[in-house]
Structure 1
Amino acid sequence: MTKQDVIKQVSEETGLDPFTSRSVIESFFEVVKDALIDGEPIYIRTFGSFILKQRAQKVGRNISQNTAVTIPAQILPSFKPGAEFTDQVKAQPMLTKTKK
């Protein structure tokens, strides 16, 4: 599902015109990005949390040159689904996609 599909579905379910739905969804994305850039997590009850995760510095290998490479520590955005959301997804049968 693409962002355009989400906008269309929200527009149909809410009765809002697609332009308004697009504006609301784009604004939500901006709020999430701005909050995470400021280091503030977002908690949406029953859905999940948009949080920052810190990865520690580690040593990797450059196989082609057989050397050690230091990978610096990083802070990355992450989504952690809520328990209710996770349970709903787990309750669904596993869908298998067939290749065309």
Structure 2
Amino acid sequence: MNKAQLIEQMAEQAQLTKAEAARALEALLATVTATLARGGDVTVVGFGSFVVEERAARTGRNPKTGEPVAIPAAKIPKFRPGKAFKDAVNG
């Protein structure tokens, strides 16, 4: 499912126009992004949590030359599904 299909499904299930559903989706994504950028977490009970984890600096290899390459530390956004969501997906 792509973004347009998601908006269409949201509009149908929530009885909204596609424009209203698109604004709601954009607001959700912007809020999650801004919260994670500030270092916070977003938890939706029964669905899951969006968190930021730190990845340590490490040494990798250039696949073409085999030379070592320094990979800097980074903050990585992750999603952890909740139990109800996992149960729904697994039947």
Using structure 1 for the length normalisation, give the TM-score.
Answer: 0.84
In the alignment, the residues of structure 2 paired with residue 74 and residue 56 of structure 1 have an alpha-carbon distance, to the nearest angstrom, of: 7
Partner of 1:57: 57
SS of equivalent residue, structure 2 residue 53: strand
Amino acid at match of 1:34: A
Partner of 1:23: 23
In the alignment, the residues of structure 1 paired with residue 79 and residue 32 of structure 2 have an alpha-carbon distance, to the nearest angstrom, of: 11
Partner of 1:6: 6
Is 1:42 aligned to residue 42 of structure 2?
yes
Shift of residue 71 of structure 1?
0.9
In the alignment, the residues of structure 2 paired with residue 63 and residue 28 of structure 1 have an alpha-carbon distance, to the nearest angstrom, of: 38
1:5-61, Cα deviation, whole Å (9 max, x unpaired): 111111111111111111111111100111011111101001000100111111112
Displaced runs of 4+ in structure 1, greater than 4 A?
Answer: none
1:40-99, Cα deviation, whole Å (9 max, x unpaired): 1101001000100111111112243332111111101111111111122122xxxxxxxx
Instruction: Name whichever of 3-12 and 56-65 sits farther off.
Output: 56-65
In the alignment, the residues of structure 2 paired with residue 61 and residue 49 of structure 1 have an alpha-carbon distance, to the nearest angstrom, of: 33
Structure 1: where are the runs of 5+ without partners? 92-100
Percent identity at matched positions?
33
Amino acid at match of 2:65: Q
